[in-house]
Every structure is written in structure tokens, then in C-alpha cells.
Chain A
């Protein structure tokens, strides 16, 4: 823990992101062009009638243009008293169709995912996702691979330091199954709106707090909030002057179909000018 804290405080200076501290909800803020952000986002989930698990995504987020961000994910999980496995990859792209800020800013999200049924990262909830889906052993779950396309409409607003974001999610298995729907919504703000004159690690301006809710909305055959899982989770982010961002979020299942408790945490570091340095290799 001391080593991690040392790295966070003493890391070579990166750049400071402006994204809200959500884990599931997206806002309209994109990666700055040319910057590469590397994130590790593990989550620990409790399982009714089964073994708890630790899942994680490794994310590589790159700002291609001012209006376009691309992100590549590698997923894995470890289920206690079972096994540790790689579960697949995702590739997402986010686009801002409007070039200026508005009261409500839309963002279009497109993703291709190739993950097996053993994936437990739960970076969204759709359809009739249920905590019981995770009960079988990994060897059984990973027999089926899902190749899915996912689209989101993100609506996001910044007002007096607050960010409020709503996501409407639709997911389609490319092989079979109906369209699945889900939602995510969050609100957050920095604990202090003004910046202080000096660099500091523990100033309130470096902390962001908020809350997010997410869950399923059934399928195109049956659009409903019943029979699927829903979660509520406070979120806390800490942006260090070194460019490292730490986040944590204890999430709580809001009905019997949900995992009782999910603890998410994340660490990210943003490399500024990554694209510019890469380009120099080709010149």
C-alpha cells in the first residue's frame, strides 16, 4: 500500500483529466486529443449462494480528435475457490456530434465486445442481467462467448460545478437474442470549486464526490424494470497533482436480483502528448 501511495504522489507529472468520478455512467467529457490514459478498474462483488469474485478491466483510452475518443479494454476475473481467467476485450468509440457546449450535451457511444459469459466486470447492466448469472463455475461460463454491439446515448450537463449525466444503453448480441436495454445516471461535483494557489495533495479541490445509479430495462420483447438488477453507488475521486487519479465506489444492490455489494476502485494515469510523441517516430 505504501508503494502504491508513493507511486501516486511521486509519479512523473502527467496531465489532469476533467472526467467525473463515475465507474459506469459516461459524461460528455472526452479524452484530450493526443493524450493516452491507462486505467485499472477492479471490482469486488459478493455473490448470493456462491463464491465472491474479483474482476478487473485494464483500459487504454486515447483522444483521437477533440470530438472523438477511442478506448480498448481487456477484461479478467478471479472467482474465489474457483479460477482466475481472461474473459475478453472491448473496443469503444465515443463521438460528440455537437461542437459547442449546450445545456444538454449529447454523446454517441459505439462498442464492440468479445467477452465470454464468465465476464464479471459489470461495466453496464442491460436486459435481465441477474446476480444468479454468475453462479456457475468459470469452466462452465466461459464455454459461451458473446460478441455484442453496444450503443449508448449519453446526455450530460455541467452547471455551477456539477455534472449531471444520463445514459440510455442498448446492446445486441450479434448471433442471437433480442435487443437489451439499460440505463445509468450520475451526478457529481468537486468538493471545492475554486483552485488554491499552491500545489497540494489533500486540498478539497482535488476531491470529487457524487452518486450513480444503473440497472437493466429488459429487452425489446419485454421492456421493464422488473426481473433485472439495479444498483446505487456513491463515488469518490481524488485527482493528485502528479496526474494520477484514484476512485472508489461502494455499490449496493437495490433489489433481490442484484449482487448485495460491489466495491469498485480504480487508478488511472494520463500521458499527455502521447500521440505527438508517437507521430515523431514516423517523421
Chain B
């Protein structure tokens, strides 16, 4: 194949992928995060949040949420598109260990990236903030 066609094919494939994706239903969908929580190993429920009850950690977590999560879950955490509503009872009733496990592992098939690149301290700060959204 002539190499000159490769960029054109790249652009065409991208447009087809985007057009196909646009035909899908983009209502807020909490099922993905509930499935991810359900998949968390049992032992993570016993993990204790080292920042529980620390107001500074809540503020730090809010900042981290704004930097990393608000783009998909919206600034008020009520969800957007396929990104789950993090104020929903399914999320708020989860144990802190389950939430940090989901943050760390993500739900790659459903579009939630893994945030294992954040140090564990920041993952817990994020969960400390999420727990205040009840």
C-alpha cells in the first residue's frame, strides 16, 4: 500500500469511530461503578481510611477531585454522560476501602481509568472527600 494513504486512512478510521460512538446512549449510567464496587475483593472492606475525619484531607481531596475527576463526573459529582453520579446511594454506601480500590483499579471496560499513578495518600484523600458528599 502506498504510504501516502496511511494518514488519510488514520483520519477516516477516527471519524468512523467517533460517528459510531455518537449513536450510543450517553445518559448518566451508574451501573459501571456499582459493578466495579461489587468486584472489589472482600478484604478491602476492612481497609481503614488513614485520613478519616481530617478537614485538611477533605479540602485536599476536593482539590484532587476537581483536578482529576470533575471533567467526567462534573464539578458537583452528580455525573455526566456515562460517568456515574458519585452522590448516589450505591456509591455512598460503599466502604472506604472499596472506593479506594475502584479509584486504584478503575473500570477500564466502562471508561473509568485507573488512578494507580496517584500516590496512595492522594487516593485516600480523594475518598475522604467523596465520603462527605452523602
Contact = CB atoms under 8 A, between A and B. Distances in A.
Tell me if chain B binds chain A.
yes
A280 B23 CA distance: 10
B90 interface: no
Contacts of B8: none
Contacts of A5: none
Interface residues of A, number: 51
Given A67-B109, A72-B10, A279 B60 contact: no
Contacts, number: 111
A102 to B, nearest CB: 10
Contact of A195 (B22, B60, B114): B60
Contacts of B110: 66
Interface stretch (A26-34, A76-84, A121-129, A135-143): A26-34
A101 B114 contact: yes
A198 B109 contact: no
Contacts of A272: 71-72
Contacts of A63: 113
A231 to B, nearest CB: 24
Given A65-B108, A66-B106, A198-B63, A279 B22 contact: yes
Given A161-B121, A194-B60, A197-B56, A15 B71 contact: yes
A88 to B, nearest CB: 10
A18 B111 contact: no
A66 B111 contact: yes
The A contact surface, by secondary structure, is: loop
B64 A100 contact: no
Interface in A146-178: 147, 158, 160-161, 163
A101 B6 contact: no
B117 A19 contact: yes
Interface string A47-78: 00000000000000001111100001000000
The DSSP consensus for interface residues of chain B is helix
B53 interface: no
A99 B120 contact: no
B119 A161 contact: yes
Interface string A246-283: 00000000000000000000000000110110111011
Given A30-B113, A32-B113, A282 B22 contact: yes
Contacts of A99: 105, 108-109
B21 A279 contact: yes
B63 A199 contact: yes
Nearest to B64: A195
A158 B116 contact: yes
Contacts of B10: 72, 91
B85 interface: no
B99 interface: no
Contact of B125 (A72, A195, A275): A195
A160 B120 CA distance: 7
A18 B115 contact: yes
Contacts of A282: 18-19, 22
Given A89-B7, A91-B6, A160-B120, 4 more contacts: A32-B71, A33-B113, A112-B6, A199-B63
Interface of B: 3, 6-7, 10, 17-19, 21-22, 26, 56, 59-61, 63-64, 67-68, 71-72, 81, 104-122, 125
15 contacts: A16-B68, A20-B117, A32-B71, A33-B111, A33-B113, A65-B108, A66-B111, A89-B7, A101-B114, A161-B120, A163-B117, A190-B119, A193-B121, A195-B125, A282-B19
